[in-house]
Each structure stands twice: as structure tokens, then as C-alpha cells.
């Protein structure tokens, strides 16, 4: 920490710069302590008491121990550059040399989804649940559960760009650190992008492996070849049944969640729809009644809200699905995500009945590395029936951070969108139930 007497001789800007550097160092120290705590308070006792097997613990904790020396090294380098008065004259060269080593987290972050699933499964064991609850109630846990400790490295990774920008913000333009800090920011953004891409591919494969086919005709090579999962989550059919939908980059798969022998999987429902053959239709509230009756029919069933329909472009398969989202916010998320997937396959040669329709203007900016391969220009057209519009997907959260975190009860989508934010704010002001977008 800065010597109090030295603070008086520094400019306000330099004080803030030094405080930003100290904040980075303090965060590294906290991370190291938490990583050690996760091992000492959770991993080792559960192994010693045979609460979990070594294989299970390895799957959940990964190579957590191996990252401690990595962060200790950064602390050591900063310490060596720190003067007796507590100030650090230059830090840019340290960060430029050290940040590329964070690529070591690619495997750990890619395994998080499977690790979380296994941990949740093991929590059904009374011994595991009792041990974790005792830990949670102990002072050392700070009221954080085990997963919060396991997720700390990811949380730390997404903070680096902000920490670096804060140091740069308070660095004079003539300071030799300026260019180096700008280089460091580019490096960490590249590292996060690489980790995010790897994590996205891993998540995609995780769900592909969970699919169960009732008929071999449901299998499609585009599913197995998928590297990007644009969005996925729960929707309801017109009859009110819960469906879990996966939108891969080239194909949409409807499933029914099933559990057998504590193993969760997704049973493919009817025929997957290739994105290039997919038609998206917007339905107004009340156009369909729950239970299958259309507007105007004599029925006491509730009029459905937040609904849309997906179907094959070619009507010959005779497959159409009317789907209902939890609220207008999640309907808009699904709508935009599906439109983004459809857009590259739509050209000026669209069928006459789809041309000359008014535009929708909701957009989101794509940051997903794989998504950048999508064409830069997209055509958009819609009415209340057939819709083909543009929206790009994105796997980031928290600026340049990685979208890797919490579960959403309705939809996990790799998007952040100005239009959706407005819909979300409107829902909040109207007292609607809020859910986390991931």
C-alpha cells in the first residue's frame, strides 16, 4: 500500500493510478487465498472422508492447484517493481509478458459446464449435501457455496480488461506504460476470446452428447458437426408441454428433458429443422389458445401470450411447432436469436410472398468468435406472420468478458441487445417476473 507521506507528494492522477495497481495486486492475493481454501476446506476433506471419489473430485475441481503459482508469479513481479514507498513506476511490461499465460485456463473454463452438472448430481447424496451445508455455515466460507469458489477464476478473468483500463485511464499520455497497457488490453481480450471459443465448443459438444434419438431418421450430420450453440432453453408447446430447444448454428432441435438413473438427457422430439429450411412466424397474443384452439373457437382455455411458430419452409413434412416463452422479454430473445441464424440463408431471391415486408430494427452486436464468420450484411423482413431478420449472436458478458456463468430458467442465449434491454426495462417497470439472461 502507498506510504501516507508519499501520497502528499503525488498528483491526484498518480494516486489513482497507484491505487488501481494496488487493486490488481490485492485481487491476485485474494484469488490465491481462495484457490488454496477450495483445496484445503473442500477437496481434501471430501477425499479423506470418501464423500466423493478422487475421479469425481478431479472432474469437479480440475487443475485448480496449478493456477496458484501462475498468480503468485504476477504478485512476485509486481513486488519486485514496487519501490520502498509503495509505488510502481512501470507495470506495462510485466503485464504484456504475463497475460498470455492465462491461456492455461482454457481447459478449466471449458470443463465448467460438465463440472457443475456433476456437482449438482452429487448434491443429491445426503453425505455430500450435509458436508457442503456445514461448510456454508462455517465462517471461512463467507456464505459462499462450493461452486462460488470454483467459479472465482472465471470471475477474475473477466475483470482483467477493466482493471487494465482503469490503470491506463490514470496514466499520463507521455508515460512509457501507455502503449504497453494498450498492448496488454489487446492481449487479454484475445485470451478471453480464445477461452470463450473453446468453452463454447465444449458446451456445444456437452449437449450434443446428451441427445437421445427415438428414431434413426432424427439423426442429422449437422448436429454432430455443430461447434456453436447459439441459444438453448425451455419453451412450452401449444398443448402446454415443456420442451427444451437447442439452436445450433445450422439446425434447430426440439427435445423433451428426461432423467434415468440420475442421468439427465434430452430426448429428441420429432424431426430437427435445418436452419436453411426454418421459417419463423410471429403470433400475436391471443392468436392461439392453450390447448390448441385458435382465436374465435368456442373454448374456455386460456389465450396464449408470448407465442411464435417455427416450421419447415417446405410444407410437405407437415411439421409445425407453436411455442410459448415465459414472458415478452424471453420471446424477443428467442425471436432475435432464431432470426440471426436464419439471416445468412436468406437472399434477394426469397419467395415473392416474403418480399416487400416491413422491417424490424432490433439488433445486437456479435462478439462470438465463430459468429464473425456470418455475412456482414443481413436482409431483414417481417410481418406478424413470416419473419426473417438479422441479429448477431455473442458470447460475451461484462464488456469483453466471457459468457460462462449462471443458469437461466427459460433461455440461455449468447446475446446482448439494445432492443432487448428496452423490453427488459419495460417488463421490470410493469412488475414482471425477472429472470437472468446468460
More confident residue, 337 or 1: 337
| Mean pLDDT of the region 374-383 | 32
Confirm if 369 and 266 have CB atoms less than 8 A apart. Answer: no
In this predicted structure, which of 66-80, 189-203, 225-239, 423-437 has the lowest mean pLDDT? 423-437
**Cα–Cα dist 414/393, whole Å:** 6
pLDDT above 50: residue 374: no
pLDDT above 90: residue 260: no
Domains and CATH numbers, the chain: 12-207 (1.20.900.10), 214-291+304-345 (2.30.29.30)
**Cα–Cα dist 436/411, whole Å:** 9
C-alpha pair distances (Å), 47 with each of 51, 52, 61, 428:
6, 6, 12, 45
C-alpha pair distances (Å), 311 with each of 118, 154, 204, 273, 293:
35, 38, 23, 8, 19
pLDDT above 70: residue 430: no
More confident residue, 409 or 164: 164
What's residue 317's pLDDT? 60
In this predicted structure, which of 56-60, 270-274, 333-337, 367-371 has the lowest mean pLDDT? 367-371
| Mean pLDDT of the region 57-84 | 95
Local structure of 38: helix, strand or coil: helix
**Cα–Cα dist 438/426, whole Å:** 19
Indicate the pLDDT class of residue 402, thresholds 50, 70 and 90: low
**Per-residue pLDDT tens for 73-120?**
999 999 999 999 999 999 999 999 999 999 999 999 999 999 999 999
pLDDT above 60: residue 390: no
**Per-residue pLDDT tens for 280-324?**
999 888 777 666 444 444 445 567 789 999 999 886 665 889 999
What's residue 273's pLDDT? 94
Amino acid at each position: 500500500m502507498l506510504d501516507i507521506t508519499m501520497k502528499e507528494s503525488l498528483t491526484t492522477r498518480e494516486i489513482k493510478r497507484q491505487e488501481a495497481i494496488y487493486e490488481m495486486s490485492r485481487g491476485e492475493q485474494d484469488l490465491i487465498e481462495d484457490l488454496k481454501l477450495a483445496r484445503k476446506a473442500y477437496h481434501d476433506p471430501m477425499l479423506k472422508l470418501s464423500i466423493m471419489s478422487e475421479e469425481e473430485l478431479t472432474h469437479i475441481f480440475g487443475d485448480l492447484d496449478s493456477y496458484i503459482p501462475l498468480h503468485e508469479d504476477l504478485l512476485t513481479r509486481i513486488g519486485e517493481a514496487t519501490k520502498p514507498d509503495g509505488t510502481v513506476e512501470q507495470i506495462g511490461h510485466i503485464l504484456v509478458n504475463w497475460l498470455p499465460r492465462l491461456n492455461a485456463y482454457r481447459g478449466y473454463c471449458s470443463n465448467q459446464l460438465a463440472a457443475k452438472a456433476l456437482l449438482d448430481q452429487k448434491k443429491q447424496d445426503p453425505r455430500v449435501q450435509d458436508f457442503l451445508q456445514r461448510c456454508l455455515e462455517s465462517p471461512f466460507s463467507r456464505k459462499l457455496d462450493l461452486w462460488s469458489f470454483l467459479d472465482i477464476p472465471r470471475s477474475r478473468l473477466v475483470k482483467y480488461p477493466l482493471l487494465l483500463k482503469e490503470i491506463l485511464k490514470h496514466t499520463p499520455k507521455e508515460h512509457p506504460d501507455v502503449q504497453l497497457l494498450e498492448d496488454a488490453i489487446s492481449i487479454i481480450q484475445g485470451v478471453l476470446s480464445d477461452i470463450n471459443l473453446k468453452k463454447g465448443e465444449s458446451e456445444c459438444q456437452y449437449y450434443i452428447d446428451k441427445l437421445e434419438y427415438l428414431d434413426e431418421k432424427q439423426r442429422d450430420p449437422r448436429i454432430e458437426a455443430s461447434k456453436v450453440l447459439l441459444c438453448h432453453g425451455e419453451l412450452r408447446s401449444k398443448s402446454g408441454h415443456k420442451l427444451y430447444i437447442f439452436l445450433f448454428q445450422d439446425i434447430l432441435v426440439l427435445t423433451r428433458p428426461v432423467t434415468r438413473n440420475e442421468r439427465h438427457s434430452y430426448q429428441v422430439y420429432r424431426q430437427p429443422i435445418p436452419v436453411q429450411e426454418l421459417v419463423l412466424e410471429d403470433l400475436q397474443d391471443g392468436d392461439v389458445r392453450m390447448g390448441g384452439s385458435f382465436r374465435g373457437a368456442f373454448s374456455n382455455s386460456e389465450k396464449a401470450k408470448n407465442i411464435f411458430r417455427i416450421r419447415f419452409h417446405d410444407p410437405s413434412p407437415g411439421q409445425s411447432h407453436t411455442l410459448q416463452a415465459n414472458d415478452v422479454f424471453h420471446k424477443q430473445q428467442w425471436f432475435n436469436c432464431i432470426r440471426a441464424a436464419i439471416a445468412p440463408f436468406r437472399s434477394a431471391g426469397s419467395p415473392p410472398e416474403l418480399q416487400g415486408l416491413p422491417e424490424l430494427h432490433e439488433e445486437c452486436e456479435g462478439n462470438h468468435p465463430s459468429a464473425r464468420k456470418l455475412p456482414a450484411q443481413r436482409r431483414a423482413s417481417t410481418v406478424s406472420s413470416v419473419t426473417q431478420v438479422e441479429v448477431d449472436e455473442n458470447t460475451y458478458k461484462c464488456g469483453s468478458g466471457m459468457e460462462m456463468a449462471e443458469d437461466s430458467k427459460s433461455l440461455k442465449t449468447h446475446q446482448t441487445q439494445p432492443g432487448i434491454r428496452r423490453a427488459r426495462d419495460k417488463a421490470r417497470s410493469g412488475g414482471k417476473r425477472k429472470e437472468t439472461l446468460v
